Amino acid sequence: MTIIIIAITAFVIMLLFPILFSLFFLRKSSGKVLEIEQTKIRDPRYFVKSFTGLFDEKWADYDGSGKILLSREENILEADGLKEYPSVCQSIIYAINLDFRPQAGTRFEKEVYARQNAYLSGVETIRAICSKKNLVLGNGTKVLRWVDAEGTLTASDDCDLGISATSTTKIIVGGNCRFRRLYAPTILFGQGTGEVLLDECSHNLNLKSTPLDELRNIKYVTNDLADDAGVLAGTIITIYDITVLNRLTVKGHIRSHKSIRLCDNAVIYGNLFAEEDIYLGQNTRVYGSVFTQGSLYAESDVTIGQPGKTKSVIARGKVIFNKNCRVYGYVSSEAGGECCPDYNLSKMEPIALSRPRPHKGLLLKKIWPAVISIAMLFAIITTSISTTAILKRIHEKERLLEVEKAIAKEFTYGVDGKPDGGQLETIPTLVTKEHVYFEDRVLERFYYDPNGIWQASEILRGAMDSLPEGVNKYLMLIPTRISLEDDRYQMYSDDVIGAIAEIYATMPSEVITIDTANALFEHKSEYLFFRTDHVWTALGAYYAAEEFCKSAGIGMKDISEYQENRFEHYIGTMNALPEARTLSKYPDYVSYYIREGAANQQTITARRTKDDYLIYNTPTVALSRQGYDIFIGSYFSHSILYGDLKKDKTLMILGDEYSKALAPWLTPYYENVILVDSKFFYGGSMEFWQLFSQYKITDFVVMEYVQNLGNSLINTRIKGIFSKP
């Protein structure tokens, strides 16, 4: 019982553990609201404003000690008056009145704040720098974080502009420069002078005032679509790659689910949005913003935006500008931007856009959607196939069941209920100590144990002696199946009949012994025992009952008065034996017999009290049960059956599972038949004798399966039952 209690406790704990665990944390932590920076606004010059704002505030309290407290204490050097800087400068530099001109070969690991102009020539790296006027970065300068100028910011060749390069006036970017974000009213790439501004185009670009037609899913903007002036008035939304041919103008926006390509001299009045790369040919102009989830490639003389307005170039991938490109506003490139990469500006030749440059990432980008799509398709296909297969199987199973039923109805069973209509197997497949295995059945071996026989005799005699006077006493011992089998198998068993006879011989004369073995033997070719179970069939029980009735002087009804019904496909307890691998292929069937008008055949609801001791009114044929459980139902302590007779004639059977198939045959001849299970009777002798006297038992049968004779548990139980209170 301990194990069960522990298991149930563990089960309850494990069941509730996840919930209790969560509840514990619910109580323990109150939860934290996700913080939203309500006051945050995006400012392209955020870094410089943040730094200079803090610096100016702290500078007001600076005491000249060489240290200033910003977000933490920093060293500070005032640049005015400094002739030379350390080669690795780890202080913040503040140049107030003079231009900032450090010597070559210096590395600045802190910010530089110049109130005048700043000229960096030969400086290797600088963390961040801002100038209130103009700022020039010499060749090869590397900015680690940000750079800002309120005047013109000029970056010579081979510079790295860090994360953010901003200006309130202009940015000029040299060749082979790298950047992430740029912001200025005018940004010039490739050190072009940018003198030619787009005066002629800086007005009348209000797209909103003109209702725009919408063109969908086109791949080319050709002359056919444009008017005579080469202008297409309309917004293009397409799922394809789209190309705007040379010298055409689109007065609208372009939105592509793939890439956009503008051939040389094309003009777009609105915005460009693409999921993949954007290619801008020579001298193209886009007056709106450009946004791509891919990369942007701009050939020379490309203009994006308009003077006096802020537009943006945003790319998830790279942004490459060639010489003489202009952007009015903001450039952002997550993968990094380059200006005139790998070109020597002094030898610049105009390069026509020929073929789009393949992006390395393009192929990889497409793999996952394809993989997922294939996986889903596979899942759908396999699910559909398996569903179809399962439904087919279900249908097949049902059809087979119907066929089986049909077959069963025609009673085409073979010997001992063998479903294929055949004979019994003759060659054992395995012989163990306890059993003989055939493909279609298992036989229990009987071992003669003189001690066991003697003990059983003693107990049975004692039981019979304790019964009161006037009660008719009967003893019925049931042989094993093997004793009814062919002679060649008798070598696997000791003499069952002899053992039974030996016990019978020890009984007092008033005990009537029932010659069950002989009764069965006469009908041994019939289906008397199950092949897959150790118990007998209702037919076997019938013959035993017939023998009993003969001995008791009862005129038994013939079996023909009963209607045979079957419970098909019964696989009994022998199937649980590990060696019985093929038994399930040869199931038994259970016949049960109903006689019309018999009172005991009603399926009455079983009742049961809490203490498990008493069970009443079990049906003799329990139609809701399966297999051998059809008889009387499950394993009850004891059962009271209502018979057909209305006289004071009651029968009590003390027996094992064999009694369940026997009892229904005897109910016509008694008022009650009380079955006391020799294994499961939970009561003691007091309860037994109470039962005995309550029903005024007139006939008493002790019946045992011969294999149980030496069973000490049963012997003890019988002994206990019959001990006088």
- Please state the closest distance from residue 354 (CB atom) to other proteins, in A: 29
- Please state the closest distance from residue 569 (CB atom) to other proteins, in A: 13
Task: Compare residues 40 and 488 and give the one whose CB is closer to other proteins.
Answer: 40
The tokens of 254 are what? 């372009």
Task: Compare residues 207 and 424 and give the one whose CB is closer to other proteins.
Answer: 207
Q: How many CB atoms are closer than 10 A to CB 420?
A: 12
| Spatial distance between the Cα atoms of 707 and 376, rounded to a whole number of angstroms | 61
- Please state the closest distance from residue 41 (CB atom) to other proteins, in A: 5
Stretch of residues binding other proteins (CB under 8 A), selected from 60-68, 90-98, 285-293, 503-511: 285-293
Matching residue, tokens 């004979």: 423
Query: Which residues, other chains included, contact 402 with Cβ-Cβ below 8 Å and sequence gap of 6+?
Result: none
| Spatial distance between the Cα atoms of 315 and 25, rounded to a whole number of angstroms | 44
Instruction: Map the footprint of other proteins across residues 213-232, applying CB under 8 A.
Output: 216
Question: Binders of other proteins: how many residues, by CB under 8 A?
Answer: 101
| Spatial distance between the Cα atoms of 262 and 99, rounded to a whole number of angstroms | 44
List C-alpha distances in Å: 63 to 52, 53, 68, 76, 401: 18, 18, 9, 11, 100
Task: Compare residues 152 and 333 and give the one whose CB is closer to other proteins.
Answer: 333
Beta bridge partners of 681: none
| Spatial distance between the Cα atoms of 432 and 678, rounded to a whole number of angstroms | 28
User: Is residue 655 close enough to count as binding other proteins by CB under 8 A?
Assistant: no
User: Is residue 606 close enough to count as binding other proteins by CB under 8 A?
Assistant: yes
Residue among 659, 630, 657, 660 at smallest CA distance from 567: 630
User: Is residue 71 close enough to count as binding other proteins by CB under 8 A?
Assistant: no
User: Is residue 680 close enough to count as binding other proteins by CB under 8 A?
Assistant: yes
Stretch of residues binding other proteins (CB under 8 A), selected from 37-45, 188-196, 496-504, 589-597: 37-45
Beta bridge partners of 238: 256
- Please state the closest distance from residue 681 (CB atom) to other proteins, in A: 10
**Which residue type, as a one-letter code, is found at position 417?**
G
Instruction: Map the footprint of other proteins across residues 47-66, applying CB under 8 A.
Output: none
Task: Compare residues 59 and 613 and give the one whose CB is closer to other proteins.
Answer: 613
Stretch of residues binding other proteins (CB under 8 A), selected from 243-251, 383-391, 411-419, 523-531: 383-391
Asked whether the beta carbons of 155 and 138 are under 8 A apart, the reply is: no
Q: How many CA atoms lie within 13 A of 64 on its CB side?
A: 0
Which of residues 96, 163, 225, 408 is near other proteins by CB under 8 A?
163
- Please state the closest distance from residue 369 (CB atom) to other proteins, in A: 8
The tokens of 139 are what? 């060749």
The tokens of 328 are what? 């009015």
Q: How many CA atoms lie within 13 A of 656 on its CB side?
A: 19
Instruction: Map the footprint of other proteins across residues 397-436, applying CB under 8 A.
Output: 398
User: Is residue 367 close enough to count as binding other proteins by CB under 8 A?
Assistant: no
User: Is residue 239 close enough to count as binding other proteins by CB under 8 A?
Assistant: yes
| Spatial distance between the Cα atoms of 176 and 480, rounded to a whole number of angstroms | 101
Binding mask 165-194 for other proteins (x = CB under 8 A): ---------------xx-x-----------
| Spatial distance between the Cα atoms of 517 and 531, rounded to a whole number of angstroms | 18
User: Is residue 14 close enough to count as binding other proteins by CB under 8 A?
Assistant: yes
User: Is residue 30 close enough to count as binding other proteins by CB under 8 A?
Assistant: yes
Which of residues 196, 352, 374, 376 is near other proteins by CB under 8 A?
376
Binding mask 308-337 for other proteins (x = CB under 8 A): -xxxx-x-x------------xx-x-x---
96 phi/psi in degrees, rounded to 5: -95, -55
Which of residues 168, 169, 573, 698 is near other proteins by CB under 8 A?
573
- Please state the closest distance from residue 521 (CB atom) to other proteins, in A: 27
For β-strands 672-677 and 650-655, DSSP reports them as parallel
Stretch of residues binding other proteins (CB under 8 A), selected from 29-37, 68-76, 517-525, 698-706: 29-37
